[in-house]
Copies of this chain bind each other. A is one copy, B any other.
Amino acid sequence: MKPVLLAFAIVLAIGTASSYILEPGPVVKATVGELWPKPKSQTSSPSYFILKRSSFQLKVTNRTCDILEKAIERYQKLILSVGSDERRSSAEVSKKSWRSDPNFIGNLEEVKVNLKAPCEQLPYLGMDESYELVIDETRASIDSFSIWGMLRGLESFSQLVVGNMLRVNTTTISDSPRFSHRGLLVDTSRHFISMNILMTILDGMAYNKLNVFHWHIVDDHAFPYQSTVYPELSAQGAYRPTMVYTPEDVQKVIEEARLRGIRVMSEFDTPGHTRSWGISHPELLTPCFDQYAGKFGPIDPTKESTYTFLYNLFQEVVGVFPDQYIHLGGDEVGFECWASNPDIMEYMKENRLYTFEMLEEQYIQRVVDQIDSLNRSSLVWQEVYVNGVRLPNGTVVHVWTGNRQDLLQRITGDGLPALLSTCWYLDHLAMGGDWRKFYECDPHDFVGNQKQKDLVLGGEACMWAEAVNDNNIVQRIFPRVSAVAEKLWSEEDVDDADEAARRLEEHTCRMNQRNIPAQPPNGPGFC
């Protein structure tokens, strides 16, 4: 009987515990010198050059401008600091003589930075971000017809350089992004985020070829934007008088973003999400009655003074933020306060507005018209579209909740451009590296014709700040946002998460070496 008993036990055991046999060391082995996001086309060979720390330079051979000069300064520094962590770890200094390695084909003294057209001053939706990169025996150059493409090419070249010896394999890259709007929303209202952290975030965005910093700058809880026409908004609405973005701060964010080819798109979300506006301007908000007595609801859309105030503010905003687009919000407008207010009800009756959606529509229509008259374009959250507001041609609808496929199909079917964020909420947490769920989402994964697909401008990862502040926001964004960045830059068929995992392991370490405190992407490991 005994052997039978034993055999039975074995079967039982194997059924429950087959994952306990594993290898020591990192669970995902990092690639060496692979790019993130993956370029459109790339060929490489085992032959490699060595960059001399003492003399290597990125050499401008054609057009230049301040953006390019500063980028070269940044990338020269990043490239020469490659491998410094390995040098600290003495045992990893390569002892083998690369000079006798048949793959070693020489030193690389310079890479030609060949910008073939004058610089544009400001990044914009649809800007040219394409570039060509060649490192081989005949030449070493980055070519682009656009400063924005050149910035992406410099980033790519910097990622090719590896190891303490600054090795770079012969490589040919032809690259351009799949989507033109590749954004990161940062909420600076729920928690105030310091300027130095915002600078770190911009750096990290550049390392991932993201190009829109969507600044959700104010919200219900705090109003940190220091306005010049209404300084009382932040004087009373910021958490603390010191927790504000001064005009100089805002200009610094815009300038540092511009230098990295990143647009700064501001959001002044109305008519909901405006409670902090009402601290200094209670007359803007709807006073609630009945069970909500004493509280304030959304902006009061029935008063003419509301629109004067908003026009003055938006007139300032378009002067401050040079981007063509302003995000007008329009999400999560609660109707219960409007419903409790007799003046609102009376106004609706008089104006034959039979639903609150109609009241909201009237409000949004006027704000969109204001932005239109200021020669800017609008983005709105999906509710504005769903609630039936007639939107001017070109107004971008930002999808964030519900069935993304249905919404994208409907919005683009109606001829409106769309942005996707639904599947890319960075505040939604799960165990582990927690980036594969972001990587599984594709903005074109809906039923629609080519015209509809073309109306999807791209998407944004959203870092809502209820649970992040200076202490953890960078760690929470990176490297999880990298998954989104690759979905938006790389071709549709770049969708193998296991392949990506190895590159992301390297990319995360690269970000760490560049002082981005990105968290581990894949489980046990080290940089």
**Which A residues fall within an 8 A CB radius of B?**
2-3, 5-6, 9-10, 13-14, 17-27, 88-92, 189-192, 220-222, 237, 239-243, 272, 275-276, 278-279, 288, 292, 295-298, 332-337, 339, 345, 348-349, 352, 354-357, 427-434, 465-469, 471-472, 475, 512, 517-520, 523-526
A89-B240, A191-B524 known; A471-B518 Cβ under 8 A = yes
Give the one of A189, A191, A298 with max B CB within 10 A.
A191
| Contact pick for A243, options B336, B348, B357, B526, CB 8 Å | B526
Bound-state CA distance A475–B477 (Å) is 14
Bound-state CA distance A58–B525 (Å) is 45
> When the two chains form their complex, are residues A519 and B24 in contact, meaning their CB atoms are under 8 A apart?
no
> When the two chains form their complex, are residues A339 and B10 in contact, meaning their CB atoms are under 8 A apart?
yes
Determine the chain B residues whose CB is within 8 A of the CB of A222 once the complex forms: 24-25, 524, 526
List the 9 shortest-distance A-B pairs measured between CB atoms, nearest first: A20-B334, A13-B335, A17-B334, A471-B517, A221-B524, A239-B526, A190-B524, A472-B475, A429-B429
> When the two chains form their complex, are residues B356 and A467 in contact, meaning their CB atoms are under 8 A apart?
no
Pairs across A and B, CB under 8 Å, 11 listed: A2-B354, A9-B354, A13-B356, A23-B275, A89-B241, A90-B242, A190-B524, A240-B526, A429-B434, A471-B512, A471-B517
> When the two chains form their complex, are residues B467 and A432 in contact, meaning their CB atoms are under 8 A apart?
yes
| Contact pick for A333, options B20, B297, B520, CB 8 Å | B20
Shortest Cβ gap from A336 to chain B (Å) = 5
Q: How many of these chains are in the complex?
A: 2
> When the two chains form their complex, are residues B519 and A472 in contact, meaning their CB atoms are under 8 A apart?
yes
> When the two chains form their complex, are residues B355 and A239 in contact, meaning their CB atoms are under 8 A apart?
no
| Contact pick for A14, options B191, B336, B357, B427, CB 8 Å | B336
Closest to A517 in B: B471
Bound-state CA distance A17–B3 (Å) is 66
Where chain A touches its partner, the secondary structure class is loop
Give the one of A5, A428, A432, A466 with max B CB within 10 A.
A466
Determine the chain B residues whose CB is within 8 A of the CB of A288 once the complex forms: 21
A26-B221, A468-B520 known; A18-B431 Cβ under 8 A = no
| Contact pick for A292, options B21, B430, B468, CB 8 Å | B21
> When the two chains form their complex, are residues A428 and B427 in contact, meaning their CB atoms are under 8 A apart?
no
Bound-state CA distance A220–B296 (Å) is 57
> When the two chains form their complex, are residues A525 and B17 in contact, meaning their CB atoms are under 8 A apart?
no
A222-B25, A222-B524 known; A18-B467 Cβ under 8 A = no
> When the two chains form their complex, are residues A242 and B520 in contact, meaning their CB atoms are under 8 A apart?
no
| Contact pick for A475, options B243, B432, B471, CB 8 Å | B471
| Contact pick for A467, options B17, B297, B431, B465, CB 8 Å | B431
Bound-state CA distance A356–B111 (Å) is 63
Bound-state CA distance A471–B23 (Å) is 25
Determine the chain B residues whose CB is within 8 A of the CB of A472 once the complex forms: 472, 475, 517, 519
Bound-state CA distance A433–B523 (Å) is 23
| Contact pick for A221, options B18, B27, B240, CB 8 Å | B27
Bound-state CA distance A355–B11 (Å) is 11
Determine the chain B residues whose CB is within 8 A of the CB of A348 once the complex forms: 6
Determine the chain B residues whose CB is within 8 A of the CB of A241 once the complex forms: 89-91
> When the two chains form their complex, are residues A339 and B520 in contact, meaning their CB atoms are under 8 A apart?
no
> When the two chains form their complex, are residues B221 and A24 in contact, meaning their CB atoms are under 8 A apart?
yes
> When the two chains form their complex, are residues A18 and B276 in contact, meaning their CB atoms are under 8 A apart?
no
Closest to A189 in B: B524
Bound-state CA distance A428–B241 (Å) is 37
A242-B89, A427-B431 known; A349-B6 Cβ under 8 A = yes
